[in-house]
Structure 1
Amino acid sequence: MLALRYAGFAVVATLANLGAQRAVLALGDREAAAVFAVAMVTGTLVGLVVKYLLDKRWIFYDRTAGVAAQGRQFALYTLMGVATTAIFWVTETAFWLTWRTDAAREAGAVIGLTIGYVTKYLLDRRFVFREGGAA
């Protein structure tokens, strides 16, 4: 059940990420590297917050309270995502540069995010949400 819930939340975060990217790309020149970069960063931030909130409550059943403690926890959660974000960005960018279509870009994003989320779960379980829940 946990794996299905985690996979479902990964899909929700992925859709939030890609939706944010589409919104940014709709505002500018899709071929411009700067617009592409802003879209990727915006999508990543949106997906990060969505995934953190879902993981914290429904995957790891974390009860960390207080602004300072939660801030530290979110910072560590974000840090664990740096390598996994690199996997996602490299894969999405490679698909975009190879085929130059939105479908290819999004396929690369989904592949990169899938690899990244599996890796991220293992890191989060070990380093971020050690004391609570399903880990």
Structure 2
Amino acid sequence: MRGGARLAALYAVFALIATAVNIGCQAVVIWAYHGPYAVPLSILVGTGAGLPVKYLLEKRHIFGFESEGLAHDGKLFVLYSVMGVVTTAVFWGVEFAFSHLYGTDAMRYVGGALGLTIGNLIKYQLDKRYVFVAPAAPLAEAA
């Protein structure tokens, strides 16, 4: 498999893994809790579980990025998370739309998977351009 195809396949596999973690956690919350705000709570828990999984897999295997330590890694995760705010809004919007239009958990999960797919395509471009980039070389001092 060529470089670009291999990268796309890995990214897809990692997105599927994170999606499975996300949707699985949502299903557990819905199974365990039937009270008010069960759906938003399940989406929040799913997102909170899937995000670090995706970050760790992508940082290492997609971008081949090594942080400079725990503090740097924390800053990267925050930046990675901030980049995900817009893409999470896309994901949530599609999931809530499916929930509203179809009114079933199964279709809400389909909407969640579709929203995550769209969000992942956008997220890759943002991360490549703004998160997992080599630090700029210091300017040479003037002589």
Q: Quick one: percent identity of the two aligned structures?
A: 45
SS, match of residue 64 in structure 1: coil
After superposition, the C-alpha distances for 1:29-75 in whole angstroms (9 at most, x for unaligned) are 1xx55111110001001110110010011000111131110110000
Within 5 Å, which residues of 2 pair with 1:67-82?
67-82=70-85
**In 2, distance between residues paired with 1:16 and 1:65?**
28
Counterpart of 1:106 (choices 90, 106, 109) is 109
The letter of the residue matching 1:62 is F
Which structure ranks higher in relative contact order (CA pairs < 8 Å, sequence separation ≥ 6)? 1
After superposition, the C-alpha distances for 1:82-108 in whole angstroms (9 at most, x for unaligned) are 000000001000101111112110110
Counterpart of 1:15 (choices 16, 20, 28) is 20
**In 2, distance between residues paired with 1:2 and 1:72?**
25
Question: What residue in structure 1 maps to residue 33 of structure 2?
Answer: 28
Answer yes or no: is 1:86 the counterpart of 2:80: no
The letter of the residue matching 2:9 is L
**TM-score, structure 1 normalization:** 0.93
Select between 64-73 and 48-57 the one with higher mean Cα deviation.
64-73
**In 1, distance between residues paired with 2:24 and 2:101?**
22
- Higher Cα radius of gyration: 2
The letter of the residue matching 1:49 is P
After superposition, the C-alpha distances for 1:1-27 in whole angstroms (9 at most, x for unaligned) are 000000010000000000010111111
- Shift, 1:125, TM fit: 0.2
**In 1, distance between residues paired with 2:76 and 2:20?**
24
SS, match of residue 37 in structure 2: helix
Give the ranges of 4+ consecutive aligned residues of structure 1 lying more than 6 Å apart after TM superposition: none
**TM-score, structure 2 normalization:** 0.88
Gaps spanning 5+ residues in structure 2: where? 1-5, 136-143
Task: Tell me how many residue pairs correspond in the alignment.
Answer: 130
**In 2, distance between residues paired with 1:129 and 1:15?**
24
